[in-house]
Chain A
Amino acid sequence: MTLSRRGFFRLTGTGLAGSSLAALGFGSGEAVAASVRPFKLARATETRNTCPYCSVSCGVILYTQGDRAKNAKSEIIHVEGDPDHPVNRGTLCPKGASLLDFIKSPTRVKYPMHRTAGSREWKRVSWEFALDRISKLMKEDRDKNFVAKNSDGVTVNRWPTVGFLAASATSNETAFMTYKVVRSSGMVVFDNQARV
């Protein structure tokens, strides 16, 4: 072991007595507990995913508590970049690095909510109620406002009075499902975020 400059001072300075004691076999200094925080992901389950924010689509690893055993509820406890991903190679931006806080955001919606005309408040409703009511509203409007032929008599089969704004962070599979449902109904007021 080479003796660094600092080490030299240590030896010659106030530590002289102690060092000498140690050299004589007196292990001075009480063993005070000092250990690092345990690595918090040691046995967490890893799931590969893609950052939902921008179109770089960085690979991320979601770490969940629980080993998927029946009696352990999976809970995401950490998100980190996927080092294998060719584009981000484990790195993340400030949004990606805080994805956990997005998943756990206090303003996430957890239950279907409904606001009636003129009301000042939300009311929690059941899925059954919400879906029944929405599909009924849809059919009502479609049956009333569907344009089968235009003024020139050309078959156009469009439904111009209800619109759908699709997302731009949902999966392709969601997108295709949405496309099928929206277009088969004849809806034309249909767009996504690509224009903005």
Chain B
Amino acid sequence: MATLQSLDIKRRSATTETPPSVRSSIEVAKLIDVSKCIGCKACQAACYEWNDLHEEVGINIGLYENPHDLTDKTWTLMRFTEFDNKGNLEWLIRKDGCMHCDDPGCLKACPAPGAIVQYQNGIVDFISENCIGCGYCVKGCPFNIPRISKADNKAYKCTLCSDRVSVGQAPACAKACPTQAIYFGTKEEMKVHADGRIADLKERGYQNAGLYDPPGVGGTHVMYVLHHNDQPQLYSDLPKDPKISPLVQFWKGGFKDVALFGFGLTALLGFFHYVTKGPNEVERKDEEAAKRLSGDRP
């Protein structure tokens, strides 16, 4: 187990209960200010370089997004939307990637103990050596982030540069961002900073500017400042009120315990039936009746 205080584990996948921790550390957050983003993809490049990811060279399909979706090697992706706001064009550019939910759907869905952990600082990280590659995290995630590698059948996504954060550095994308559209610090500080940005945006005419920190997943450790916080879906389908799907809640919630209980109960009922009613045994008279029926044929 990680020994650094900031890396103490808060939750661990497929573990009936994570022991309570004596220590608690400050929650961190990455604030992505979409109104300052110039879509330069420096974050994407920095992510590839820091994480030693070598993505395939693709093709152009008539869009600026390259690659065209997140992959096992593309953990963050700039998504571009052209929005005609009553005659004024807006080019909404959103850095997509793991949101590091406080209530992570991936972790909830994961069947492999310790393959997904949430550190005390809020980072949700995939521990590859424990990952079994089942893809349940993909189904659990309300933001459609994790991807399974064809190379090693493990799930991959943004780690929020847990290796950097653990030694007191900002994530590679945040450090690279030329316009401070990505800002990194404690979640509290990031919220305060966002307030200032939102006030500035309102002054510039964006009445619905706001902070995207969706409560449906307990808040996130990657937050957005949006000019149109009332319509997050404008930003390449950022979900308006994301939560863990009720299906996943059911599947990974109490049902699994109920089912096991059901199996045990069935077996137990059989056992008690046996001890109360006894076996259903063939009696001599049955054999004789059969013999009678069949005459003397064997």
Contact = CB atoms under 8 A, between A and B. Distances in A.
Q: Determine if chain A interacts with chain B.
A: yes
Interface of A: 1, 5-6, 13-15, 17-19, 21-22, 27-40, 42, 78-81, 83, 88, 90-98, 100-101
Given A92-B178, A97-B45, A35 B7 contact: yes
Top 4 nearest A-B pairs by Cβ distance? A18-B17, A32-B114, A97-B45, A37-B163
Contacts of B17: 15, 17-19, 21-22, 28-29
A101 B49 CA distance: 8
Contacts of B162: 36-37
Interface in B160-207: 162-164, 166-167, 169, 172, 175-178, 180
B113 interface: yes
B175 A32 contact: no
B148 interface: no
A39 B130 contact: no
A195 to B, nearest CB: 27
B254 A14 contact: yes
A27 B20 CA distance: 9
Given A1-B24, A6-B102, A94 B41 contact: yes
A14 B256 CA distance: 10
Interface stretch (B8-16, B133-141, B264-272): B8-16
Contacts of A40: 163
A80 B42 CA distance: 11
A3 to B, nearest CB: 12
A35 B40 contact: no
A80 B103 CA distance: 33
Contacts of A36: 2, 7, 125, 159, 162-163, 166
A14 B20 CA distance: 16
B35 interface: no
Given A6-B218, A39-B163, A34 B40 contact: no
Contacts of B40: 93-94
Nearest to B129: A33
Nearest to B16: A18
Contacts of B166: 36, 39
A14 B164 contact: no
A97 B17 CA distance: 41
Given A14-B254, A29-B18, A32-B113, A92 B42 contact: yes
Contact of B176 (A31, A38, A92, A100): A92
Nearest to A38: B163
Contact of A14 (B9, B46, B125, B253): B253
A83 B48 CA distance: 20
25 contacts: A15-B16, A15-B17, A29-B12, A29-B16, A32-B113, A33-B127, A34-B1, A34-B9, A35-B2, A36-B125, A36-B162, A37-B162, A40-B163, A78-B49, A81-B175, A83-B175, A91-B42, A92-B42, A92-B46, A94-B41, A94-B44, A94-B45, A98-B48, A98-B49, A100-B49
A22 B19 contact: yes
B127 to A, nearest CB: 5
